[in-house]
Every structure is written in structure tokens, then in C-alpha cells.
Chains A and B, each alone.
Chain A
Amino acid sequence: MTSGQPSVSPPIPSQRDPLLWVALLGIAAVYVRALAFTPIEARQGAAQKIMYIHATSAFIALYVAFVLMAIASALYLWLKDEKLDRVAESSAEVGLCFTTVVLATGPIWGKTIWGAWWTWDARLTATLFLWFIIVAYLLLRGAVEERGRRARYSAVLGILASFLVPFIHLSVYLFRTLHPMPILLKPSAPSLPNEMLVTFLFSFAAFTLLFLALLRTRYRMATLRDWVADREQERA
């Protein structure tokens, strides 16, 4: 399915994205605040500060990126609007980047606390599975040329992949696991001292901005790619 008559001039986005620069500045500030001005946890040492990037990246990947991917995919199957397919695709790819950070920083934290880089416990394994499914989702998109079919297949896979999100969240309650319980997303009050909580929330805001900036850039790229594909198809 195509988006109807493509516009004559290409939808070329600006090369300078102020939102991306604001996000990068915010993250630089998070690095300074977390590493230099946030107290060191007494039992875990400085390695506990990995939480400010690991947990925020996990939160945004699971509860923002992959939930957005699932919602946009479901809406695409209903409305057949290509914009929704592009949102799902962009959210999946940016979410994959965030999940890669989660899977890269988690073992470094785990080595200092558990004495092992990796353990096959429910949360870690399910997160790794989700990472592989999102890679498969993006490979599938690259493999199917017909746009309507590609959007339909990947929407179904995207919705199925998102079923892992509640499982990953609940895995620490359902299974015996080395991974700690949630410290923020739980019914009772956050179990963090105020200074650490402020750093965490600041980090969450900065990484959310980064997610939005990357999502917007990726979405615009997908729009331009489809415009180019339409034009090239017209010529063929």
C-alpha cells in the first residue's frame, strides 16, 4: 500500500535537530551529576551509579518504546495508515538501541555485585529474548519488499514481541531471580534516598528527551525513504 500521490518535493528534514542537542546536553549533565555529585551507595560502591543509565534505559525501552511499537502496530492493522507503521518501525529500532545499552551495562553492574557477568535468570534471559525478537522484526522489515505486506507482518510480530514486556516486569516476582526488585515501579514509595531519586528522575527526563529526538529523526528518515521508494517505483 502506498500513501497515495507522493508530494513533488522530497520531505527532507533539517540537518540540525535542536531537540537532539538539548537531549545530549541533558545527558552530559546527568553524567556529571551522577558520577561527581551523587553519593556513593555504602554496600555496592560506585557501581550502583550504573543504575542511573541502566534502569532508565530499561524503563524507556520496555515501557515507552516497545509499548509505543505495539500500540502503533495495532492501530496500523486497524486503520492501515502508513504513518503508524513508520512510528512502530522507528520506535522498535530506537528501543533496540536502548535495550542494547541495558544488556551492555547490566553485566558490568552484575559482575561487581553478583561476581558474574551473566546469569540465566528469568529477567535477563527474557530481556535478551526480546532483543533478539526486535532484531528479527527489523530483519523481517528489510526482507519483505511489498510495503503493505511488510507493514502487516511486522505489526503482528511487534504486537507479539510486546507480550514479553509485562512478563519481564513481573519476572522478579514470579521467579527466584538474582535481579533486584523494582525500586520505583511498585505500589509502595520509592526506596531511594532523595539525592539518588533526584538524579534518577533527572536521568529519566534526559533519556526520554533522547528517545524522542532519536524517534523523530528515525521517523523522518523513514518518511524520506518511502518518498524515494515511491519515486523510484514511478520511474521503473
Chain B
Amino acid sequence: MTPDNTSFAYAAYTLAAIIYLAYALSLRIRARRLRERALALEASARPRSDRAEGA
């Protein structure tokens, strides 16, 4: 007789989705922070005349 363990399958699929999405989200958040730091560094390194033109 086939056992009824569908809830276990759904639990595993849900857990896997949570782990993958959480990792993808963590990459996105870390990348955004780095981007902000990089843009701040680039802006402060640019000569004043460039900054005025670019603004």
C-alpha cells in the first residue's frame, strides 16, 4: 500500500525554496551595499568640475 506522506514532500520543497530565495536575497542585499560604497568612492574621487557637470 502506498503511504500518504505528501505533506513531507511539500515541506521539503518549501524548505528548499526558502533556502535558495534567502541566499539569492542575501546576494542582492550585499551587492547593493557594495554598489553604494563603490558609487560613493567614485563620486568622491572625481574632480570638482566633473562633479558639477555630471550633477
Give chain A's interface residues, CB within 8 Å of chain B.
8-10, 12-13, 20, 27, 31, 34-35, 40-47, 49-50, 53-54, 57, 94, 97, 100-101, 104-105, 108-109, 111-112, 210, 214, 217-218, 220-221, 224-225, 227-228, 231-232, 235
Contact = CB atoms under 8 A, between A and B. Distances in A.
A104 B15 contact: yes
A145 to B, nearest CB: 17
A10 B43 CA distance: 11
B6 A224 contact: no
B24 A53 contact: no
Interface residues of B, number: 29
Contact of B34 (A57, A210, A225, A235): A225
A40 B16 CA distance: 20
A232 B41 contact: yes
- Closest 5 interchain pairs by CB? A10-B38, A45-B3, A46-B6, A105-B12, A47-B5
Contacts of B42: 8-10
A109 B3 CA distance: 13
Contacts of A50: 8-9, 12-13
A54 B45 contact: no
B50 to A, nearest CB: 11
Interface of B: 2-6, 8-13, 15-17, 19-20, 23-24, 27, 30-31, 34-35, 37-39, 41-42, 45
A71 B8 CA distance: 37
A53 B34 contact: no
Contacts of B35: 10, 12, 224
18 contacts: A8-B45, A35-B9, A42-B2, A46-B4, A47-B5, A47-B8, A49-B9, A50-B8, A97-B20, A101-B20, A104-B19, A105-B12, A108-B15, A217-B31, A221-B34, A224-B34, A224-B35, A228-B37
A45 B27 contact: no
